[in-house]
Structure 1
């Protein structure tokens, strides 16, 4: 009989005497943090990075869960904004982001560092995985052959419904079209727009505010992209900020990554 995802993950985590988990605030890393904490109370610490690319709501979520469940949590800067290679926003920007993140965590521990990557991530264009490999970062969900859907199922199984229902939320910098320099002002605007528009859509619906060379583009799941209120509110927000509104279109995963290798579909 094939072992359940929970049993597979428990076996993987048991193979590590201690872990420092990079917790972004999303469903994957948060679920991993919860389960590792429950199954290995004394050997798990969490690190959450704050930066202009991380929504304040994510930091608040991490802190709230840490306080409620007694995590050993460190919060610090990720350092990527000090790296000109990251700010230039090349197609492999994520490599420089994760390089800075993991190097910051490594300065705090000599132990094993873990990410919340799952098997679905392996089919995407993920330069950050290269940075992880160079630094011997482990991916327990990948080792346990656990997909995104199974991560959500594990969250529900363990009473973490608030996490299970979180929409996928990569960092805010993923909304900036490749080649447009990353700025804190753009990231703050993206966060403001997505926060304002998200109540107009179902909880797990895709929503992205893209900063493109044509202007601000809103992406939403195809069945919601034609919602009149979505377009109207986006136009108002752009006008208030003095930004050019370039329309609403169907969500396309990774559409801001111009020039990414064709072998991937991120």
Structure 2
């Protein structure tokens, strides 16, 4: 069994960031990347924060990034990524994330000369993440991984940095992750997913829920506590699907990686 690193997580991360004269942090709007940007700023690293918008990015994530950037005085660049112009992405193969990150990091590299940093953490190495291959090809750095920092430790850092509710945000991958492998990525589908998940969150208060676009129709996955409200969820979703002309396949327990066919489990 390997020994725990001798230094506390914050000191390990400060040591990693000390190598960089400046950074461009790719910020999605989730706890990991927002914490990385906040920590880098706190430790005096000149910082450009870059947030990409697309139909796959929830509007709430973009609003969160803009709010925090204004509150903390970040240099913020909001850009599109162009992944919807890439048929390799739209076709939604099992390695779709590779093409998404390829477009993202190429766009960022065209906007800044600073090293690009992601918020990937140690837990991410246990998943099938083809986006990390695209990152490696473009020399993107992952300070949390280099500092051996887990998701739980990222949340602890977020609390220490005073990020409030950001520290408790549930895992929220991009909206395209709700679409089963082989179903083409479509902006209307993603808009439906975003609206449905907002309505479901208000109804159930669930920490983890997903509205899935599957070959059998729209399905909803709920965490264990929210499954007690399955009948109310089914009633809401049946109405939303009928209005949108979609088939509803029912609710079921949340299963990580449910939409990816032909690959190891992924965080979706």
- TM-score band by shorter chain is over 0.9
TM-score normalised per structure 1: 0.95
Partner SS for 1:222: coil
| 2:54 counterpart of 1:39 | no
Partner of residue 257, structure 1: 260
Partner SS for 1:210: strand
Does the 8 Å contact 2:156/2:167 carry over to 1? yes
Partner of residue 52, structure 2: 49
User: For the residues of structure 1 that align with 2:76 and 2:178, how far apart are their CA atoms?
Assistant: 28
Partner of residue 128, structure 1: 131
Residue 238 of structure 1 deviates from its aligned partner by: 1.2
Partner of residue 218, structure 1: 220
User: For the residues of structure 2 that align with 1:202 and 1:96, how far apart are their CA atoms?
Assistant: 33
| 2:29 counterpart of 1:25 | yes
Partner of residue 208, structure 2: 206
Please list the CA deviations of residues 64-111 of structure 1 after superposition, one character each: whole Å capped at 9, or x if unmatched: 100111001100101100100000000000000000000000011222
User: For the residues of structure 1 that align with 2:118 and 2:129, how far apart are their CA atoms?
Assistant: 13
| 2:132 counterpart of 1:152 | no
Partner SS for 1:57: helix
User: For the residues of structure 2 that align with 1:222 and 1:182, how far apart are their CA atoms?
Assistant: 29
Any gaps of 5 or more consecutive residues in structure 1? none
User: For the residues of structure 2 that align with 1:86 and 1:147, how far apart are their CA atoms?
Assistant: 29
Residue 201 of structure 1 deviates from its aligned partner by: 3.1
Match of 1:103 among 99, 106, 112: 106
Partner SS for 2:225: helix
RMSD between superposed Cα atoms in Å: 1.3
User: For the residues of structure 1 that align with 2:237 and 2:170, how far apart are their CA atoms?
Assistant: 20
- Going from structure 1 to structure 2, the CA distance change for 1:171 and 1:265 (only over 3 Å counts) comes to closer
Q: Which moved more, 1:93-102 or 1:161-170?
A: 161-170
| 2:143 counterpart of 1:143 | no
Partner of residue 2, structure 1: 6
TM-score normalised per structure 2: 0.95
Does the 8 Å contact 1:153/1:164 carry over to 2? yes
